[in-house]
Chain A
Amino acid sequence: MTAAARGIGIALVVALTLPLWAGGVYYVNLASQVMIAALFALSLNLLVGYAGLTSLGHAGYLGLSAYISSWLMLNLGWGHAASAAAALAGTTALAGVFGVVALRATGISFLMITLALGQILWGLAYRWNDVTGGDNGLSGLTRPHPFGIDLGKPAWFYYFTLAVLLLVWAAIAVWVRSPFGVSIRATRDQPRRMSALGFNVWLIRWVTFVVSGFFGAVAGLMYVYYNQFISPHSLSLANSAEMLLMVIAGGPGTLIGPALGALLVVLLKNVASAYVDRWITLLGVVYLLIVLFVPGGMVAGLARMAARLRGRPSGAGTAGTAPRAEEAPQ
């Protein structure tokens, strides 16, 4: 635990001072991108890691929240606060409806339904030209100026994103450790036993689904503030799959894993796309490598490696923190 606390302390110091030593706007912006990706991965991880429900439609929330806020600002002239609130409320409400549909099933069927639902939103963004601008998307957005701070400056935007990330992180950490969070994990591992004990398994999953959608909407807002542009491409299946890869690569069902996964994928994407033309192929290969060789994610992999270095039997210290996330619920 002390090692973990020390790690978090070091990470915080690094994060807080990053704009001072990063050596350029490019790196500060890259760090903001990593944190926004981490927000997505954290929100998706609630479903994938804690509830054991693998969703392939999470990019839909990003898109919906980004489109709602952009549209309200551009067409109705709403302010940032009002349009952000409307985007969060609208997206969360839709997550409620999607949850009712998708939770008719679990396991692979749940994944297929969320994929299909995500494609509906993609299709809507792509085809409903009058509202979404079709393939061209919506552009011309400004970043908000909370308390007179100009988020148009990369460093300030970086700190704003960091603040949002830490808030969301803390909220999720508290939530998954609460009694309700324990019941979420219990519905993942032992759904039948939970039902026999009198818990409403469906309701627990639905609430998790909606909360995951809400945090996805928060991430979507940060995404559209950062890019000041939203197009159907952001809602694509490839994007949903990329978020899922972050969670799986980092370590589903852990608090650190999704952020690590986001770091890996965003860095890989930026570094690799500078040298290799075929980034998507590389992404596909990374998928295969991770699935074949690091099945429990990096957190579990690193813990195993550390345990081996200390000469302990592998997995001894990790059983509690790294659940078997591959297992789909019955």
Chain B
Amino acid sequence: MTFWLIQSLNSLALGGVLFTLAAGFSLIFGLMRVANLSHGAYFMLGAYVGLSVVDQGWGFGWAMLAGGVAVGALGVVVERFVLRRLAGNALSQVLATLGIAFIIADGSLWHWGGDPRSVSGPEFLRGGAHLFGLTFPAYRLAVVGFSVVLALALWLLLEKTRLGVMIRASVDDMQMARAIGIPASRLFTTVFCLGAALAGVGGVIASPILSVYPGMEADMLPLALVVVILGGLGSLAGAFAGSMLIGFVYSFGQVLVPSMAYIILFLPMVVVLAVRPRGLFGRVTA
């Protein structure tokens, strides 16, 4: 029983981490039709920036801030100077983001070295939390809480603010949105920056759980892809549901059938594609 509870918490925590990654990926795809294959690299870069900040003796909150700001700024540069020049050419954009992913991955290897680095979470979350007579790692509980708050905040942003209205309108009908004066190009930069920053923050909060290592980007990117294909591209609810589902499948798979964990991970995707190609919550065909 304890095993199942602890594993469930681990699953939720992994799901929360995946959500920070997949939400940005899904938003960017929904709005810009860009499959941002550098998203995993943003995640890793955020984790490494956070690591450096923590190494300097700053707190974990500063690390999250630094990871988000640094990667978000990089996102602005990439969107402005690369993706914009390739607008309307989906394949070129994909290749460009892949090239950027290689550069980030190799640059990180160069700067931070090839050894996996572990990062300790904030001090007040080091211990265990006692719930129902069991001890849970407090940090993972906090990650779950953070991801729920983040999901709510993003939902409010999309549903209740002017920016959110413009984003939703552009996702649904770009031409009409432009025609009625929505500044689509500024919107693209904003959303790409937001998505990249989310990935950066996600990397920082993931680092105490997953640690930071070269190749992290290649591990995370497929997970993000599976999440958004499952949940439906461009859907926030889909990204959340998909993240939690994959969090469970992967966490339990790794414990119960370690050598096959990667395969079971992709089974839900195959099933969803066969039955409902647009994903669980998607409105557009995948």
Query: Does A237 lie within 8 Å of B218, measured CB to CB?
Result: yes
Query: Does B99 lie within 8 Å of A291, measured CB to CB?
Result: yes
Query: Does A291 lie within 8 Å of B96, measured CB to CB?
Result: yes
Query: Does A281 lie within 8 Å of B102, measured CB to CB?
Result: yes
B:93-137 near A, CB below 8 Å = 94-96, 98-103, 105-107, 109-110
Nearest chain B CB to A329 CB, angstrom units: 11
Query: Does A283 lie within 8 Å of B262, measured CB to CB?
Result: no
Confirm or deny: B149 has a beta carbon within 8 angstroms of a beta carbon on chain A: no
Per the CB 8 Å criterion, the residue count for chain B at the interface is 48
Q: Interface majority SS on A: helix, strand, loop or mixed?
A: helix
Complex CA–CA separation, A286 to B96 (angstroms): 10
Query: Does A111 lie within 8 Å of B94, measured CB to CB?
Result: yes
Using A283-B102, A285-B99 as known contacts, say yes or no to A127 and B91 having CB atoms under 8 A apart.
no
Nearest chain B CB to A46 CB, angstrom units: 16
1/0 per residue, CB under 8 A from B, across A107-151: the answer is 111011101110110111011111000000000000000000000
Complex CA–CA separation, A124 to B257 (angstroms): 12
Query: Does A295 lie within 8 Å of B262, measured CB to CB?
Result: no
Query: Does B95 lie within 8 Å of A116, measured CB to CB?
Result: no
Confirm or deny: B233 has a beta carbon within 8 angstroms of a beta carbon on chain A: yes
Complex CA–CA separation, A248 to B86 (angstroms): 15
Complex CA–CA separation, A244 to B101 (angstroms): 15
Nearest chain A CB to B20 CB, angstrom units: 19
Confirm or deny: B285 has a beta carbon within 8 angstroms of a beta carbon on chain A: yes
Confirm or deny: A238 has a beta carbon within 8 angstroms of a beta carbon on chain B: yes
Confirm or deny: A10 has a beta carbon within 8 angstroms of a beta carbon on chain B: no
Q: Interface majority SS on B: helix, strand, loop or mixed?
A: helix
1/0 per residue, CB under 8 A from B, across A248-271: the answer is 100000000000000000000000
Chain A residues with CB under 8 Å of B218's CB are 236-238
Chain B residues with CB under 8 Å of A107's CB are 90
Contact of B95 among A104, A127, A248 (CB under 8 A): A248
**Residue among A130, A245, A248, A292 with max Cβ neighbours from chain B (10 Å):** A292
Query: Does B110 lie within 8 Å of A112, measured CB to CB?
Result: no
Chain B residues with CB under 8 Å of A286's CB are 99
Nearest chain B CB to A67 CB, angstrom units: 15
Query: Does B95 lie within 8 Å of A291, measured CB to CB?
Result: yes
Contact of B229 among A109, A281, A283 (CB under 8 A): A109
Query: Does B286 lie within 8 Å of A104, measured CB to CB?
Result: yes
A-B pairs with the 10 shortest C-beta distances?
A123-B262, A287-B99, A284-B102, A284-B103, A280-B106, A119-B222, A284-B99, A281-B106, A109-B286, A288-B99
Known contacts A113-B229, A237-B222, A291-B86; 13 further A-B pairs (Cβ under 8 A): A105-B277, A105-B285, A109-B229, A115-B221, A120-B265, A120-B266, A123-B262, A238-B218, A284-B100, A285-B99, A287-B96, A292-B82, A326-B91
